[in-house]
Structure 1
Amino acid sequence: MSLLKLTFLGTSAAQPTLHRNLSGLAVKADTDLLLFDCGEGSQRQMVRFGTGFTVDAVFFTHFHADHYLGIIGFLRTLGMMGREHAIHLYGPPPARRLLHQAVHLGVEAMSFPIEIHEVKDGDVIRRDGYALHVVGVDHRINALAYALVEDGRPGRFNVEKARELGVPPGPSFGKLQKGEAVTLEDGRTVKPEDVLGPPRAGRRVVISGDTRPCAAVVNASKDADLLIHESTFSDDEQERAQETHHSTAREAAWVAREAGARRLILTHLSSRHDTDPAKLLNQAREEFKGPLEVAYDGLTLELPLRDE
C-alpha cells in the first residue's frame, strides 16, 4: 500500500455547529475508500472536501445517533448515482438490526447490494495490503475502536550486493524484491535474504471512537503512526466526561503517551470548544510531547511510509 490519506468530515460531538459537522472520517488506502462513522451531513462534507463517493466499506464505532444517521441519505445518494456493486457496513451489535432499518427506510428498494457485518473485539478484517483490527472500548453502549494496520514490506533492495552476486538487472531484480529466489545461468541460487535488508513495518492508524481512556486503546496504539482520539471535554469537565463515558483532551494525550504513539490528533469536540480549542490543545500538550493537533472539518493529511 502506498497511499494512506485521511480527511476529517466531521469533528463535533453530539450536535453539529456552524463550523463542525458530526463524526465522520474518510480514509483513502490505495484504491480503497473507507468511511469511519457517518454522521448527518457526511455526504455533503464529502462533496465539500472532494473525497469522492466510491466508498468500499463503512466502519461504525457505535450506534449513538450522531455517528450513524448520515448513512441513510448517503446510501440513497449512491443509488441515484447508479452504483451497482456492493458496499460493506461493519459495526458492533446491534448493527444488523439498526442498519437494516436505515437501509430500508423509504419506499424504494436499494439498487445495489448492501452487506451488513457485526464485529466484535478481537476480530480482524483483511483487505488488500492491510487489515482492520477491531478493539472493544469503554463507552456507555457497545462501542469499538479500529486499528488500520498496513502489511509489512520487504527490506530495502541492495543493488550493489545483487550485482556482486551476479544477478542481471531486469526481471531478476524484480523477483528478488517480491521475495522470490532467482537461479543464475551458472546454476547458483540467489535468495531474497541475500540482497534484502531487514523487513520494514507497515503503518498503523488507530481511530478511538467514543470512549473513556482505556488499556485496550493503549495496547492497540503501541508505536502507532497516528492515534485519532476523542477529546470531548477539558479538565474542568472531568466529572461530565466520566458521567458520559467520554475523554478529556488530557486523557487522550495520556493514552498517546502510554502507547508511545508517534502522533496524536484530537477530535469529537464539545460545542463549548467549537471555535477555540486552545484549552484542549494546551492541556493535551502537558501530557504528550509528540506532534499534536486538534482536528477541524476538512483537515486532510497523508501519512508517509515509515522509512520516508
Structure 2
Amino acid sequence: MELYFLGTGAGMPTRLRNVTSVALSLMQERGTVWLFDAGEGTQQQMLRSPVKPGKLEFLFLTHLHGDHLYGVPGLLTSRSYQGGESPLTVFGPPGTRRFVETTLDVSGAHLDYELRIAEIGEGIVYEDDGFVVTAAKLEHRIDSYGYRIVEKDTPGALDSARLAAEGYRPGPLFARLKRGETVTMPDGRTIDGNDYLGASLKGRTVCVFGDTRPCGSELALARGADVLVHEATYMHEKADNAHKYYHTTATQAASLAAEAGVGALILTHLSSRYQDESVHRLLEEARAIFPNSHVAEDFWSFRVTRRA
C-alpha cells in the first residue's frame, strides 16, 4: 500500500505543483489503484509516474471544485485509448453524475469499459472482503468530503504443522479451518479453526480529506489512522484567510493529527504563495506540533506501513 502524489497545489497549477490528485496504490493487495481527485492535467502527470490509468479501479472525488475535478473527463477518455477495459467506478458528491455524463455526452466521448457513478452521502460508501471506505462531510464552501479507507485485518496463518502432527492431511477441511470455522474431522473429532490460527495481521487505515475548515467530523474520521492526508493551504499567519475561504493552516492540520493520534500527517493542497524555501517554513510549523509531518511534492510517494 503506497500513496503517490500526482498534484499537490491549490487552486491553479504552478511551475512546481499541479492541482490536486493523489493515488493509493493497492497493486500488492488487489492489483489496482484508487485515485482521489483529478485536477486539470492529472492524466499528463500520470505519464511521468508509475500510475497507470488501466489499473484504476475507483476514483473518489472529495468535492466538485475545478482544481479537484477538471481532469476527470480527459482521464476517463484517455483510459480507453491506453487499454483500460476493466470497470471503473466514480464516487463523488451529488452533482458528480451530471458533470461526468454531460461532459462525456457533449464531447461525443466513447469508453471501451463500463463506467459506474455512485453519488455519495455520509457513511459507508464501499465495502468488500478486504476494505471498507467511509465518508464524512467536512466544512467547505460546497459539499466536501473526507474519506477513511480501512484495510480489514488479515486472519492469521493456519498451523498446518500442528494439524499434521495430530494426524490430519491438507485438504478442503483445512480451508474451512483457515476461515475459523468449526469442523468435524474424518475421525469424528470436532475442531475449532480459531484454535489453530496464528495472530491476525492488523489492517492499515488511510484518511484523505478534501478542502475544509477545522471541524468536528474530521476528528472522528481521522481517529487512529496510520496516515492522514490533509490540506494545508496556508501557514498559520494567514489563519484569517484560511477561515474566510474555508481552508486549513499547517498548524491546524498538525493539531488535528496530534489529537486524533494518527501515525503520520501528509500536507498537500498548498497555496501558490508557498514556493521553494517557504515550504520548509510551513513544514517546520507543522512539525512543531506533530513531529511526523511531511509536505507532499508532485511525484513523491509514501509507503503505508503497519504500526506496532
Same fold (TM over 0.5): yes
Does residue 18 of structure 2 align to residue 21 of structure 1? yes
**Partner residue of 1:280?**
282
CA distance in 1, matches of 2:19, 2:115: 23
Query: For residue 41 of structure 2, what is the aligned residue in structure 1?
Result: 41
Paired residues of 1:43 and 1:70 also in contact (CA < 8 A): yes
1:58 aligns with 2:59: yes
**More displaced, 50-59 or 107-116?**
107-116
- Mark the runs of 5 or more structure 1 residues left unpaired by the alignment: none
CA shift digits 1:155-181 (9 cap, x unpaired): 455567656655556766554333234
Which runs of structure 2 are paired with 1:63-74 in the superposition (5 Å)?
63-74=64-75
CA contact (8 A) 2:226 2:306 kept: no
Aligned residue number for residue 119 of structure 1: 120
Partner of residue 248, structure 1: 249
Equivalences for residues 75-154 of structure 1 within 5 A: 75-154=76-155
Cα drift, residue 306 of structure 1? 4.8
Distance in 1 separating the partners of 2:31 and 2:180: 23
| SS at structure 2 position matched to 1:148 | strand
**Residue of structure 2 equivalent to 1:8:** 5
- d(CA) in 1 for partners of 2:163, 2:98: 57
Contact 1:11 1:21 in 2 (8 A): yes
Runs of 5+ unmatched residues, structure 2: none
- Deviations 1:83-110, CA, capped at 9 Å, x for gaps: 4443211111121222222322413444
> Which residue in 1 is equivalent to 2:177?
176
**Are the counterparts in 1 of residues 53 and 82 from structure 2 also a CA contact under 8 Å?**
no
Deviates more, 1:270-279 or 1:45-54: 270-279
Conservation of the 8 A alpha-carbon contact between 2:37 and 2:59:
yes
Per the TM alignment, residue 197 of structure 1 is displaced from its structure 2 partner at its CA by 4.4
Deviation, structure 1 residue 123: 3.3
Cα–Cα, structure 1 residues 165 and 212, in superposed 2: closer, same or farther, change >3 Å?
farther
Shift of 1:269: 0.6
Shift of 1:210: 0.7
Distance verdict in 2 for CA 1:114–1:236, change over 3 Å: same
Paired residue total:
303
How far does the alpha carbon of each residue in 1:57-96 deviate from its partner, in whole angstroms, 9 at most, with x for none? 2110001100010012112212323544432111111212
The answer as to whether partners of 1:137 and 1:211 remain within 8 angstroms in 2 is yes
Amino acid in structure 2 at the alignment position of 1:80: Y
Task: Tell me: CA distance 1:79–1:158, structure 2 relative to 1, closer, same or farther (3 Å).
Answer: closer
Whether contact under 8 Å (1:139, 1:245) holds in the other structure is yes
* Contact map agreement 2:156 2:199 (CA 8 A) in 1: yes
Secondary structure of the structure 1 residue equivalent to 2:154: coil
Q: Distance in 2 between matches of 1:87 and 1:223?
A: 30
3-state SS in 1 of match to 2:223? coil
Segment of structure 1 superposing worse, 63-72 or 121-130: 121-130
Residue pair 1:72, 1:105 contacting (<8 A) in 2 also: no
| TM-aligned CA distance change 1:128 to 1:177, over 3 Å | closer
Q: Secondary structure of the equivalent of 2:217?
A: helix
Give the equivalent residue in structure 2 for 1:214. 215
SS at match of 1:123: strand
What one-letter code is carried by the residue in structure 2 that aligns with 1:70?
G
TM-score, length-normalised on structure 1?
A: 0.90
CA–CA separation in structure 2 for the residues paired with 1:237 and 1:156: 52
After superposition, the C-alpha distances for 1:105-156 in whole angstroms (9 at most, x for unaligned) are: 4134444332221101113312451121111111110111111111122245
What TM-score, normalized to structure 2?
Answer: 0.90
Task: Decide whether aligned partners of structure 1 residues 283 and 247 sit closer, same or farther in structure 2, where only a CA change above 3 A counts.
Answer: same
* Partner in structure 1 of residue 302 of structure 2: 301
- The one-letter amino acid of 2:281's match is K
- Percent sequence identity is 37
Partners of 2:307 and 2:164 in 1: CA distance: 27
| C-alpha distance in structure 1 between counterparts of 2:143 and 2:240, whole Å | 21
User: Which segment is superposed worse, 28-37 or 153-162?
Assistant: 153-162
